[in-house]
Structure 1
């Protein structure tokens, strides 16, 4: 199996598995217990928190662990609107479903939601954003690196527009954390462990002091009185170790991804079109389309290669990608698109081999259709 689905999830780093193992097998105490074992577990969680804060690299903030990025985004959006008298959200049409669906739910509660369009390159126009972000705006929500097409949105500039009108800026940094520098402007940043070679089931919300959202979960208030629920030391430790590795390996990972990007580009002819900006994107995400291709059928025909049509959260729905449709692609063009994701543990030879097989089977599809 050749794994090219890094945007859906990344392989667990061996160092992360080793760091988690004692907390799975032997050190099972509740970290909120006053016992010696409980205090030891709590100390391990605080070390993990410090490692995450260090890897994020932003000042004057604190971090709460969550069950994943979906919870972090829901908490950030709904909790911010609950603490604000303003009733307007500005976001982007290509955001993750966790953002768009949360906004849609709030829309049903009387909140005005502005979904900014993107160009053919997948990028938001800043003048359009400036016109939408005004004194009525409580929250601006934007993804740093798009999970489907890899384009990098101008988060720093959007944060500046939010600051000008006193709005809160939320950055979904799930696909960017550990790969790109997180801009200093956001008040809230959502993260996920399993997108940086950590375990599934744990995420985090970074919060600038004074911008903490109202609690979404109520109970014991274990996370600084803001988020309730017993934390898993194993998951927190795994996330912390993944963050440490991402920080330590960032330069090497970036160089490796650039080599892989060149390998992938050289494997596809001019008949294939890259979806989204070629220049303003993370190069570990290659979203391509070929006229007449049946992407879903291609995946079925290449069972030894793991890749996708788009977001893993929506691929099973049967609907064309909302991201690709926002770029102006027709339903047919969207269904003729595939996403290849690669990173730290992808080999150049295996990527070249996978691309060769994809091109061959895609050509066979075209020949049968002719």
Structure 2
């Protein structure tokens, strides 16, 4: 059975050319970049080159990049590092952030931080006006994701950056889902952002935090002087070099965004044409690869399982400790009824997704949904 992978917002497979780089680095890299001998200094040069490659992608300084294990660590480094809880401070974020951000703020609330969680509009986007209403004289950080991981809806990051800059409030952006799927311009008002390599066809276990120069912050992991003294621990040099290769491949993948957008639109158009009572969760603008669909009257968990048995990988909600699937917090915050949220699945493409795969997935999805609905009526 041929398997069709439509869960790329969870993780992408590694680009074959990036894999070649990773394998080579694992085979030839020896020593520690902090060592003063030949082997260590050769690795140090490779890390510097990788840092420069990634910096050029965002037009930032190499010294503003801090390599981490991924976006979750980066988000914690940024949020916890920027906030001084010895003072009576306040933060503004949204109720639709990824758990890496959302649960970090929930944890800091227990330690005394005051947090405002801005709800999205029905479109799934957070408005600048809603952000403005929550800011007060004690606001020490604004944190808003660039694009939602479940709906793909893009937030007005540039407008929020202009606002935060005017008040000199640090602004943190979770850029994990937008990179490689839509334009991401680093406005001067953006103080920090995070991302993960495995979302852009790089290896798992590597990511980065951008923190603008002269921004004071405390390290999350104490130790040696790695990462300019802000992230202790020997660098994962092979993965860092591979991450830089993944950014190079993004730059080389001309037309990828248009192609993913075409396939996503084809996917939605055909399903909405063939099936009744199917709704797109989230309005435009969206990143090019994401489709969150509600199949009214169909149990999402059962559909997800049936799709997997037919060779299609998608996603639905988040898993709780018991292993049962919960309705999506993001969809509920957007105002969907719990029943509709439970009937929703996310499909996410990559630049390697083929049109033939999309057409086969459309056929399988429509057949399964029709079968579920027929069974429920009988």
- Name the TM-score, length of structure 2 as normaliser: 0.93
Residue-by-residue CA offset, 1:283-303 (whole Å, 9 max, x unaligned): 200000011111111121122
Structure 1 residue runs of 5 or longer lacking an equivalent are none
Question: Which SS does the other structure have where 1:91 is aligned?
Answer: strand
| Corresponding position: 1:290 with 2:295 | yes
Taking a change above 3 Å as real, the CA distance of residues 227 and 149 of structure 1, as seen in their structure-2 partners, is same
Match for residue 349 of structure 1? 356
- Name the TM-score, length of structure 1 as normaliser: 0.95
Contact 1:8-1:311 at 8 Å conserved across structures? no
| Corresponding position: 1:214 with 2:221 | no
The CA deviation at 1:313 is 9.4
The CA deviation at 1:213 is 2.1
Contact 1:13-1:197 at 8 Å conserved across structures? yes
| Corresponding position: 1:276 with 2:279 | no
- Range with greater deviation from structure 2 (205-214 or 282-291): 205-214
Q: Of the candidates 340, 348, 373, which is equivalent to residue 366 of structure 1? A: 373
Rounded to whole Å, the distance in 2 between the matches of 1:145 and 1:312 is: 21
| Corresponding position: 1:196 with 2:200 | yes
Taking a change above 3 Å as real, the CA distance of residues 71 and 286 of structure 1, as seen in their structure-2 partners, is same
Aligned Cα root-mean-square deviation (Å): 1.9
Rounded to whole Å, the distance in 2 between the matches of 1:212 and 1:242 is: 30
Question: Which SS does the other structure have where 1:293 is aligned?
Answer: coil
Contact 1:147-1:311 at 8 Å conserved across structures? no
- Range with greater deviation from structure 2 (339-348 or 313-322): 313-322
Match for residue 325 of structure 1? 332
Residue-by-residue CA offset, 1:63-117 (whole Å, 9 max, x unaligned): 0100110000011111111288461110011000011111011111111000001
Match for residue 59 of structure 2? 57
Rounded to whole Å, the distance in 2 between the matches of 1:317 and 1:222 is: 41
Structure 2 residue runs of 5 or longer lacking an equivalent are none
Q: Of the candidates 236, 244, 249, which is equivalent to residue 248 of structure 2? A: 244
Rounded to whole Å, the distance in 2 between the matches of 1:212 and 1:247 is: 32
Contact 2:95-2:120 at 8 Å conserved across structures? yes
Match for residue 14 of structure 1? 16
Instruction: Note the 1:1-370 alignment, pairs <5 A.
Output: 1-58=3-60, 62-82=64-84, 85=87, 87-183=89-185, 184=187, 185-249=189-253, 251-269=254-272, 270-277=276-283, 279-303=284-308, 304-310=311-317, 316=323, 318-370=325-377
The CA deviation at 1:61 is 6.3
Rounded to whole Å, the distance in 2 between the matches of 1:59 and 1:232 is: 21
Taking a change above 3 Å as real, the CA distance of residues 276 and 316 of structure 1, as seen in their structure-2 partners, is farther
Taking a change above 3 Å as real, the CA distance of residues 133 and 274 of structure 1, as seen in their structure-2 partners, is same
Rounded to whole Å, the distance in 2 between the matches of 1:175 and 1:314 is: 25
Contact 1:60-1:209 at 8 Å conserved across structures? no
Taking a change above 3 Å as real, the CA distance of residues 350 and 334 of structure 1, as seen in their structure-2 partners, is same
